[in-house]
Structure 1
Amino acid sequence: MADIIVPELAESITEGTIAQWLKQPGDTVEKGEFIVELETDKVNVEVISEEAGVVSELLAAEGDTVQVGQVIAVVGAGSGSNTSAPTAAPEAKEETKAPEAPKAAPVVEETSSEQDRTIASPAARKLAREKGINLSEISPVDPMGRVRVQDVSAHGSAPTPAKAAPAPTASAPKEDDGRTTREKMSRRRQTIATRLLEVRQNTAMLTTFNEIDMTNVMALRSRKKDQFFEQNDVRLGFMSFFTKAVVAALKKYPYVNSQIDGTDIVKNNFYDIGIAVSTEGGLVVPIVRDADRKNFAEIEANIGELAKKARDNKLTLSDMSGGSFTITNGGVFGSLMSTPILNGTQVGILGMHTIQKRPIAVGNEVEIRPMMYIALSYDHRVIDGKDSVGFLKTVKELLESPEDLLLNS
């Protein structure tokens, strides 16, 4: 018999949330096989079983908060059902000789045999009972057919008994009348909210703006994109241009590439650029390491790999730790202008926005040009207006003359 224990995750992470049980009581598990997925403040971590056997007991349900070192499941000796098989009926459970009434094991109270055969997590069964939902009517997202809490919530709820409905108060409208829906914040969303609030409270944050005429960089990209793809097997986007321009500007204005440590200003002599990526779980910022040493193709490939890992929820803590400056692109969602919030202890973040054609004075003529507003949010305790304006001006000049950027990188 072996305990499944929440492993050491990272120096700053002491707890996590059970995101999904990959095995259920009675399931066979091999040594080294994943048994549970934990959601932490930064990334999701899959925990393996150190022993082969049968899952005999789950000691925490999906959605529960668990601490590092806590026992969350027990694997016993013997053989059991495969994870792809339907959940066994009560008689079959006795044949597997699993302990009676495991703490977090699914308790089958439904009278329908269809419900008995439905594969569902303990938390999903509990929520379905509370909402009066027949599990067999739910269409799970999981390709293996396992019903999770999210599936039950998305299915909607049947009328609940009067005794289970709290009396409405003047300050809290009833949630079962369809006017409101309560959703618990994920651990990652809670962390994002806390850290953003800390940044606003603990920094003297200001934002300055400029705009870039994207004509030349768009023309250069259009001319070179096919050749670039043939040579590098990666597409040429705007992010590599902006990353290179940011690195050049950071070298010119080193205080923008720094952080505060007590009463000291620590200037970074490296250029690890965070690229904000939007995921279903919230915004994450994986790092392009040593961006000053990478060419355009390497930067594009690196960003592509990190973005895919973020969307697939496969980022590791090392992918996101550190970073000296961040770039965020609200333009992909159509944002025309915004004031990005600083990332952690960094003192600067560049916000990109959507490209919009606008009438612009070119010499004594008015022309329609593709323009982008850019924003630099910065900590005024470290960076003065002169440096912040100069930083943006450098980024603007390099992107408006992209040939210079290519020659200098």
Structure 2
Amino acid sequence: MAEIIVPELAESITEGTIAQWLKQPGETVEKGEFIVELETDKVNVEVISEEAGVVSELLASEGDTVQVGQVIAVVGAGSGAAAAPAQKAPEAESTPAAPQAAAAPVVEETSSEQDRTIASPAARKLAREKGINLSEISPVDPMGRVRVQDVAAHGTAPAPAKAAPAPAASAPKEDDGRTTREKMSRRRQTIASRLLEVRQNTAMLTTFNEIDMTNVMALRSRKKDQFFEQNDVRLGFMSFFTKAVVAALKKYPYVNSQIDGTDIVKNNFYDIGIAVSTDGGLVVPIVRDADRKNFAEIEGNIGELAKKARDNKLALSDMSGGSFTITNGGVFGSLLSTPILNGTQVGILGMHTIQKRPIAVGDEIQIRPMMYVALSYDHRVIDGKDSVGFLKMVKELLENPEDLMLNS
């Protein structure tokens, strides 16, 4: 018999959520085969079985929060049924198959009425442990979904304090189609918590400038085919911005720092986070040592990390330890925004959509492709001189991209 234990995830991560069981009780699992997918604050992690055998018991349900070191399943000796093609059945329509090997007592749910009961995984687990038929429970949820508290309260007399208040007449009901309730994923909860923490614990300000993208667009247009032939990667704008940011960070080192208690820690490395939007939320993988990479290497790194993010294959090491972040709201059409600082970093650059606007060039008005850029920074570390100077240098380098490429 072997226990499936939540592994060490990262120094700062102590718990995760069961996102999906890849094996069910009674199914055969090979040594080294994935058995469960965990969702953590940053990435999803697939856990393997260290032994071959049959899954005899699942000790946590999908949606449950589990701690590092916690036993979440048991694999016994023997052979069992092969995994069904669909390994994750709809939550409201089915329950895990009964274990075939020796396991803790489990009440088998055989009633078709019970199978049709809408219940959370945690509620089903508690009902099995208590030997309660889900169809006999009267849920509080107006949609009829049975929750853990409904199972726990089943068979006990309702407390007067709970029964006395009547629901407000103006409160919308979920079953009338006016609202839809959706539980936040662990990652979305973490994003929300950390963004709120940044707003509360930093003196964040934002300064703006605009960049005439004429020259960088012309250079990219001239060089993109040759660049692709030589490097097998496309030349985008992100490598220009990354190189400009690194040069500006070298001149304004406090923008590449962080606060540790009463100390300011200036980073002598340039690990640039590139924000990537995924279905599960925003993630920020890191381009390591961007100062030592050429344009092709930076574009290649960004492409690889973006693909891993979209495929949910990022490792924790891909996202830890950045010193500065770039985020591009322009890909969604954003004209102007105030990006929020990323973790303990004290600076983040926001790119925006390129829009043709009338601009004074000398004594003439010309139509130029312009981009607004924003630098959000922690005013506890960075004063106006450094913030404005940093953003002005980024602007000047991008408006003279030949100098940027020659100096890289």
Question: Under a length normalisation based on structure 2, what TM-score does the superposition of the two structures give?
Answer: 0.83
Confirm or deny: 8 A CA contact 2:346 2:378 kept in the other structure.
yes
Deviation at 1:153, TM superposition (A): 23
Q: 1:407 to 1:120 in 2, by over 3 A?
A: farther
Deviation at 1:262, TM superposition (A): 1.1
Q: Distance in 2 between matches of 1:28 and 1:360?
A: 68
Deviation at 1:82, TM superposition (A): 1.3
Confirm or deny: 8 A CA contact 2:93 2:115 kept in the other structure.
no
Confirm or deny: 8 A CA contact 2:360 2:366 kept in the other structure.
yes
Q: 1:90 to 1:373 in 2, by over 3 A?
A: closer
Deviation at 1:172, TM superposition (A): 3.6
For residues 136-164 of structure 1, the C-alpha deviation after alignment (integer angstroms, 9 at most, x for no partner) is 99999999999999999999999999999
Confirm or deny: 8 A CA contact 1:132 1:158 kept in the other structure.
no
Confirm or deny: 8 A CA contact 1:25 1:105 kept in the other structure.
no
Q: Distance in 1 between matches of 2:221 and 2:327?
A: 23
Q: 1:376 to 1:264 in 2, by over 3 A?
A: same
Confirm or deny: 8 A CA contact 2:243 2:291 kept in the other structure.
yes
Q: 1:93 to 1:222 in 2, by over 3 A?
A: closer
Q: 1:53 to 1:136 in 2, by over 3 A?
A: farther
Q: 1:86 to 1:240 in 2, by over 3 A?
A: closer
Q: Distance in 1 between matches of 2:92 and 2:51?
A: 23
Task: Give percent identity, aligned residues only.
Answer: 92
Q: Distance in 2 between matches of 1:240 and 1:138?
A: 59
- Displaced runs of 4 or more, over 4 A: 85-101, 104-168
Deviation at 1:84, TM superposition (A): 3.2
Confirm or deny: 8 A CA contact 1:13 1:41 kept in the other structure.
yes
Q: Distance in 1 between matches of 2:123 and 2:10?
A: 30
Task: Identify unmatched segments of 5+ residues in structure 2.
Answer: none
Q: Which SS does the other structure have where 1:72 is aligned? A: strand
Deviation at 1:274, TM superposition (A): 0.3
Confirm or deny: 8 A CA contact 1:131 1:159 kept in the other structure.
no
Q: Distance in 2 between matches of 1:117 and 1:247?
A: 58
Q: 1:368 to 1:91 in 2, by over 3 A?
A: closer
Confirm or deny: 8 A CA contact 2:18 2:62 kept in the other structure.
yes
Q: 1:95 to 1:249 in 2, by over 3 A?
A: closer
Q: Which SS does the other structure have where 1:50 is aligned? A: coil
Deviation at 1:214, TM superposition (A): 0.3
Deviation at 1:239, TM superposition (A): 0.2
Q: 1:159 to 1:97 in 2, by over 3 A?
A: closer
Matched, 1:8 2:11: no
Deviates further, 170-179 or 21-30: 170-179
Q: Distance in 2 between matches of 1:173 and 1:143?
A: 10
Q: 1:187 to 1:119 in 2, by over 3 A?
A: closer
Confirm or deny: 8 A CA contact 2:3 2:72 kept in the other structure.
yes
Deviation at 1:56, TM superposition (A): 1.1
Q: Which SS does the other structure have where 1:60 is aligned? A: coil
Deviation at 1:170, TM superposition (A): 3.9
Q: Which SS does the other structure have where 1:193 is aligned? A: helix
Confirm or deny: 8 A CA contact 2:92 2:119 kept in the other structure.
no
For residues 45-74 of structure 1, the C-alpha deviation after alignment (integer angstroms, 9 at most, x for no partner) is 100001100111111111111111111111
Deviation at 1:169, TM superposition (A): 2.9
Q: Aligned residue pairs: how many?
A: 407
Q: 1:280 to 1:29 in 2, by over 3 A?
A: same
Deviation at 1:264, TM superposition (A): 1.0
Task: Identify unmatched segments of 5+ residues in structure 1.
Answer: none
Question: Under a length normalisation based on structure 1, what TM-score does the superposition of the two structures give?
Answer: 0.83
Q: 1:167 to 1:70 in 2, by over 3 A?
A: farther
Q: 1:310 to 1:85 in 2, by over 3 A?
A: closer
Q: Distance in 1 between matches of 2:157 and 2:402?
A: 63
For residues 277-300 of structure 1, the C-alpha deviation after alignment (integer angstroms, 9 at most, x for no partner) is 111111110000000000000000
Q: Distance in 1 between matches of 2:268 and 2:295?
A: 21
Q: 1:14 to 1:221 in 2, by over 3 A?
A: same
For residues 284-339 of structure 1, the C-alpha deviation after alignment (integer angstroms, 9 at most, x for no partner) is 10000000000000000000000011111111110000010000000000000000
Q: Distance in 1 between matches of 2:310 and 2:280?
A: 9
Deviation at 1:174, TM superposition (A): 1.2
